[in-house]
Amino acid sequence: MEKVIIIRYSEIHLKGKNRGYFERVFGINLEKALKGIRHEIRRRSGRYLVECFDDSQTDYILERLNKVFGIHSMSVALKVPTDMDEIFAAAQAVCSRSGTFKVETHRADKSFFLNSMEISAEIGGRLLSANKNLKVDVHSPQSVINIDVREDGTTLVFNDFFKGAGGMPVGTAGKGLLLLSGGIDSPVAGHMIAKRGMNIECIHFHSYPYTNLQARDKVIELAKVLSGYSCGTRLHIISVTRIQEEIHKSCNGEYMVTLLRRFMMRIAEKLALKVGAQCIITGESLGQVASQTIEGMTSSNSVVKKLPVLRPLCGFDKDEIIERSRAMGAFEISIQPYEDCCTVFLPKHPVIKPSPEEVMKEESKLDVESLIDEAFKTRETLDL
């Protein structure tokens, strides 16, 4: 009798002839998640089994696997030979000694001499005989003993299904570059896109010395949280201090945020093309702040010439974003009171609906390409 962890994948079963590719990437991601832990992973007809691990690390393994996109559900099971006495011994081991229960059987091995209903009846009867305080309730039982008879001569016996992260395996949907600030929204945006199978690299803009190094460290911690879901990530840190100083010196202050966003998007596209990313991802939510009006988004979008811009949070309200931030473990980091570059030279009344003509008029006061090149030279890259 061996303890194993059953992993069932999510949408991969819909992939038809491409299913093998998705399964291979999924298997690689499982191995990455369990790196450093003694284990073996075996694939069994649409399921993966984690075997040969130290029983004391069961909860730690589940914690790591809970961040792997593509997992529909997991169960901690006992694996035994497909023999009724062995199956009963495993069922007895996972069964409560009192209360109500039922037995549910899935028989993948159609050659076994009993069918699913007969196995359930036989094991249920034995459990009743062995435990006088048990009662059968097939409608609302307090516990369920699940029996999964596999084709390889083994049977898995378990109680519970633990919900997985869902989505698609990271690495099956290309690569995107995430604009990662120190706030609540952008890590959630990256998490949502990674859940759809996309590899994520991050770009962060800072304004040192107007912002402190603690703000930088905060962003690194957020990138580490995101890397736990994306099988590792790369963080690019770029200074926009000179750009902000030039905007402040030469342009109408009300356009500071609009102009800065346009510079960020230009730099992000330049970096994305350099690292092979196929899109830019932002944490913008429509109407949340002055720069996130449809006019503001249109203005920043207009400078991106070759790549799509994805805004997965566009229709979310703040409470929904906060809920997701808490769930992914980023919220307590995001609310640390260290300011990001967007708070530097912030006007009292930023323009809310920038017109293209006025934006171009203000931007014409700047040497845009020179400032972009200068900022790009400050790039620092961290592998997380």
| Cβ atoms 221, 333 nearer than 8 A | yes
Closest to 72 in 3D by CA, of 129, 14, 125, 117: 14
Parallel, antiparallel, or unpaired: how do β-strands 154-158 and 71-81 relate? antiparallel
Pairing status of strand 99-107 against strand 47-51: unpaired
Q: Which two tokens stand for residue 254?
A: 């009300």
Give, in degrees to the nearest 5, the angle at Cα 119 between 160 and 79: 50
φ and ψ of 17, to 5 deg: -70, -20
Domains within the chain, CATH numbers bracketed: 2-163 (3.30.2130.30), 175-383 (3.40.50.620)
Task: Measure the CA–CA gap between 270 and 31, rounded to whole angstroms.
Answer: 33
Tens of pLDDT along the chain (384 residues) come to 999 999 999 888 888 888 889 999 999 999 999 999 999 999 887 789 999 999 999 999 999 999 999 999 999 999 999 999 999 999 999 999 899 999 999 999 999 999 999 999 999 999 999 999 999 999 999 999 999 999 989 999 999 999 999 999 999 999 999 999 989 999 999 999 999 999 999 999 998 887 778 888 999 999 999 999 998 999 999 999 999 999 999 999 899 999 999 999 999 999 999 999 999 999 999 987 777 899 999 999 999 999 999 999 999 999 999 999 999 999 999 998 876 656 666 667 788 888 999 999 999 999 999 999 999 999 999 998
Closest CA to 95 of 32, 53, 147: 147
Q: Please choose, from the candidates 181, 178, 163, 162, the residue with its C-alpha nearest in 3D space to the C-alpha of residue 222.
A: 181
Residue whose pair of structure tokens reads 């890397």 in the numeric block: 227
Q: How far apart are the first and last CA of the chain?
A: 39
Burial grade of 305 (CB within 10 A; 0-12, 13-18, 19 or more) = exposed
> Which strand (E) or helix (H) includes residue 293?
none
Report the distance separating Cα 281 and Cα 361, nearest Å.
Answer: 27
